[in-house]
């Protein structure tokens, strides 16, 4: 669904979150499971990374005031993201939209609705730049948490919890989903409805359905957006959001809206934009259907002992809390785990120099909302703070700096040369890169935590 700090264009640019943070998969709006914090998180992690040619930065006609396309090939190298392919597809945009009428009819969208809502649509080609952005620098997880979990947002969140207490009461009773988790998602996604995004969902999804490398995926999103409008749940002016089509205070993609949106107040409309009852209930319904466990937390901060085998810090390596305790992990507040039979995996987002976290089922549920561990950690921690919990106990390795894109590419290339990595260097760190990095660290007797520090890069250079 999903994604204020001093960010000028918070919802007009985006990147794949995992690529910049080294922690997760593709952001939710790029996955088949629904929307994601593409525009906002892209800004947080990369600052200004628009590929626009300054001389071509004037708004294009019909683009609602958005920036013009750079006219360059996309950085992904995908054949549908070349400049010539984009121009050819843009020239065929009207025919592409019209060709979707039979599919719309099969979804019981009337011809009158189809013609009314598609009339005058033009492609927003600047989205092609945003879709293939390559961040030069990324932010660390501690900077990310500092930005998202701050005093101002916490204060707003507490006000929201008081203002809409009856709605939260009803939702907790009906869905068994923690109100603080819902409030945290609302706060992090849109700073409590103040930063929803200003791009037309119809224009964005139509552009992506007809142009670029994800047309099949976004065709479904575009047709789903038409269904929402045809059924009268929302008006076109309410459906504005990120470049990838996520909209509303908790950033639903159109397909996610279809699966999870509910009419909580019985007014005949599922209004996840301006109706707090529908918004809160729909977000709770999403979490519940994704497997939320009522009355349970998301995870625990833990102290990892010196000499620990960080090869165990893997989402696939699940053990009971009692087993983790046997390996030397302790609750960061010094208290025993209340439910030692609970199963969890270990996350060490800053490597051996930072805090560890044992992640439970509800953490995985938050990751279904947006499949990036950094996002889920921010939501879980923000929810705890709204509940009255304390900041994390252990310090982050703030002396570490994030690698530039050139350095990330170099690190991968060196791992290839040393025989640890078999992928194609692209500057985006996922599971394969982390595993390769762990293997290298183990080979030199360093903690195999997979953390891409400048020190590890130096040791690769000299190896």
What is the rounded distance in angstroms from the CA atom of residue 83 to the CA atom of residue 75?
11
Q: What mean pLDDT, rounded, does the chain reach?
A: 87
Structure tokens at 413: 């290339």
Q: What is the torsion angle, in degrees rounded to the nearest 10, for the CA atoms of residue 68, residue 69, residue 70 and residue 73?
A: 180
Q: Which helix (H) or strand (E) holds 112?
A: helix 111-118
Sort 336 into a burial class: Cβ within 10 Å, 0-12 / 13-18 / 19+.
exposed
What is the residue extent of each domain of the chain? 299-387, 405-461
252, β-bridge pairs: 247
Q: Is the pLDDT of residue 127 over 90?
A: yes
Backbone phi, then psi, for 24, in 5-degree steps?
Answer: -140, -170
Pairing of strands 240-241, 330-331: unpaired
Q: List the 356-359 sheet strands across, edge first.
A: 319-320, 343-347, 356-359, 299-303, 330-331
Average pLDDT (21-46) is 36
Q: Would you place residue 388 in the very low, low, confident or very high pLDDT band (cuts 50, 70, 90)?
A: very high
Domain spanning 405-461, CATH class: mainly alpha
Burial class (CB in 10 A: 0-12, 13-18, 19+), 453: buried
Tell which wins on pLDDT, 52 or 381: 381
Judged against a pLDDT cut of 80, whether residue 117 lies above it is answered with yes
* Span 94-99, average pLDDT: 98
Quick one: angle between helices 405-417 and 431-443, nearest 10? 60
pLDDT computed for residue 139 by the predictor: 83
Q: Does the pLDDT at position 250 exceed 90?
A: yes
Helix 201-210 and helix 111-118, axial crossing angle in degrees, nearest 10: 90
Distant-in-sequence contacts of 110-119, Cβ < 8 A, 24+ apart: 110/230, 113/226, 113/229, 113/230, 114/226, 114/230, 117/202, 117/226, 117/229, 117/230, 117/236, 118/202, 118/206, 118/226
* Average pLDDT score over residue span 446-463: 93
Q: Which residues pair with 299 in a beta bridge?
A: 359
| Confidence band, pLDDT 50/70/90 cuts, at residue 199 | very high
Answer for the pair 355, 7: CB distance below 8 angstroms, yes or no.
no
Residue 266 to residue 268: CA distance in whole angstroms: 5
Determine the pLDDT at residue 105.
98
pLDDT of residue 372: 85
Residue 72: both structure tokens together: 């360059």
Would you say 3 and 29 are in contact if contact means Cβ atoms under 8 Å apart?
Answer: no
Judge whether residue 222 has pLDDT over 70.
Answer: yes
Contact in structure between 328 and 305 (CB atoms under 8 Å): yes
Q: Which of residues 131 and 431 earns the better pLDDT score?
A: 131
> How does residue 67 score in pLDDT terms, banded at 50, 70 and 90?
confident
Q: Is the pLDDT of residue 62 over 90?
A: no
The answer on pLDDT for 147 being more than 70 is yes
Q: Which helix (H) or strand (E) holds 299?
A: strand 299-303
> CA 1: distance to chain centroid?
8
Please report which confidence band the pLDDT of residue 135 belongs to, taking 50, 70 and 90 as the band edges.
confident
Checking if the pLDDT of 424 tops 80, the result is yes
Residue 463 is predicted with a pLDDT of 76
Two structure tokens written together for 61: 């006609």
pLDDT band at 4 (very low <50, low <70, confident <90, very high): very low
> Which pLDDT band, with edges at 50, 70 and 90, does 66 fall under?
low
Question: Can you give the pLDDT at residue 172?
Answer: 97
Q: What are all long-range contacts of 425-433, with beta carbons under 8 Å and residues at least 24 apart?
A: 427/19, 427/134, 428/16, 428/18, 428/19, 428/20, 429/18, 429/19, 429/22, 430/18, 430/19, 430/25, 433/22
Q: Give the model's pLDDT for residue 138.
A: 76
Beta bridge partners of 347: 357
Q: What is the pLDDT of residue 24?
A: 32
With a pLDDT cut of 70, the percent of the chain lying above it is: 86
The answer, yes or no, to whether residue 5 has pLDDT greater than 80, is no
Which residue has better confidence, 43 or 363?
Answer: 363
- Give the tens place of pLDDT for each residue, 266-284: 999 999 999 999 999 999 9
- The DSSP code sequence of 231-285 is HTSS-GGG-EE-TTS-BTTTTB-HHHHHHH---TT-SS---TTT-HHHHHHHHHH
Which tops the pLDDT comparison, 134 or 60?
Answer: 134
Asked if pLDDT for residue 40 goes beyond 50, the answer is: no
Of 30-39, 133-142, 303-312, 407-416, least confident by mean pLDDT is 30-39
How much of the chain is helix, strand and coil, in % rounded to 5? Answer: 50, 5, 45
pLDDT of 440 strictly over 60: yes
Cα distances (angstroms) measured from residue 456 to each of 282, 382, 386:
44, 31, 37
> 133 by DSSP, 3-state: which?
coil
* Average pLDDT estimate for 254-264: 98
pLDDT surpassing 90 at residue 58: no
Work out whether strand 330-331 and strand 299-303 pair parallel, antiparallel, or are unpaired: antiparallel
Using pLDDT thresholds of 50, 70 and 90, give the confidence band for residue 52. very low
More confident residue, 207 or 44: 207
Q: Does the pLDDT of residue 45 top 60, yes or no? A: no
Report whether pLDDT(8) > 50: no
């Amino acid at each position: 669904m999903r994604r204020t700090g001093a960010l000028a264009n918070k919802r007009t640019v985006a990147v794949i979150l995992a690529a910049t943070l080294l922690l997760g998969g593709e952001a939710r709006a790029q996955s088949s499971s629904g929307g994601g914090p593409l525009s906002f998180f892209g800004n947080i992690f990369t600052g200004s990374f628009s590929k626009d040619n300054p001389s071509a930065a004037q708004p294009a006609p019909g683009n609602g005031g958005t920036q013009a396309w750079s006219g360059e090939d996309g950085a992904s190298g995908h054949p549908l993201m070349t400049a010539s392919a984009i121009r050819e597809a843009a020239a065929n945009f009207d025919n592409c939209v019209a060709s979707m009428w039979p599919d719309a009819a099969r979804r019981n969208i009337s011809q009158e609705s189809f013609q009314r809502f598609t009339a005058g649509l033009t492609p927003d080609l600047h989205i092609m730049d945003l879709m293939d952005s390559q961040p030069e620098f990324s932010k660390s997880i501690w900077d990310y948490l500092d930005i998202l979990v701050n005093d101002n947002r916490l204060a707003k969140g507490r006000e929201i919890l008081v203002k809409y207490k009856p709605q939260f009461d009803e939702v907790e009773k009906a869905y068994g989903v923690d109100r603080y988790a819902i409030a945290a998602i609302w706060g992090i996604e849109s700073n409590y409805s103040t930063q929803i995004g200003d791009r037309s969902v119809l224009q964005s999804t139509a552009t992506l359905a007809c142009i670029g490398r994800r047309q099949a995926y976004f065709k479904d999103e575009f047709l789903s957006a038409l269904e929402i409008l045809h059924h009268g749940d929302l008006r076109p002016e309410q459906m504005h959001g990120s470049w990838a089509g996520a909209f509303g205070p908790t950033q639903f993609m159109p397909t996610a809206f279809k699966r999870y949106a509910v009419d909580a107040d019985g007014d005949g409309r599922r209004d996840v934009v301006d109706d707090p009852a529908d918004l809160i209930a729909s977000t709770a319904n999403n979490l519940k259907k994704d497997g939320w466990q009522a009355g349970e937390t998301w995870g625990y901060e833990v102290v990892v002992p010196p000499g620990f085998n960080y090869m165990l810090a893997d989402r696939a390596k699940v053990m009971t809390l009692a087993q983790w305790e046997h390996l030397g992990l302790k609750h960061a507040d010094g208290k025993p785990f209340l439910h030692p039979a609970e199963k969890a995996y270990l996350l060490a987002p800053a490597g051996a120099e930072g805090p560890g976290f044992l992640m439970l089922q509800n953490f995985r549920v938050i990751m279904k909302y947006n499949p990036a561990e950094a996002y889920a950690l921010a939501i879980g921690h923000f929810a705890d703070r709204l509940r009255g919990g304390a900041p994390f106990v252990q310090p982050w390795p703030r002396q570490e700096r994030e690698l530039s894109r050139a350095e990330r590419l170099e690190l991968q290339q060196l791992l290839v040369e040393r025989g640890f990595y078999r992928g194609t260097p692209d500057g985006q760190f996922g599971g394969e890169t982390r595993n390769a990095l762990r293997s290298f660290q183990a080979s030199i007797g360093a903690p195999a935590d997979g953390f891409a520090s400048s020190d590890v890069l130096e040791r690769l250079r000299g190896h």
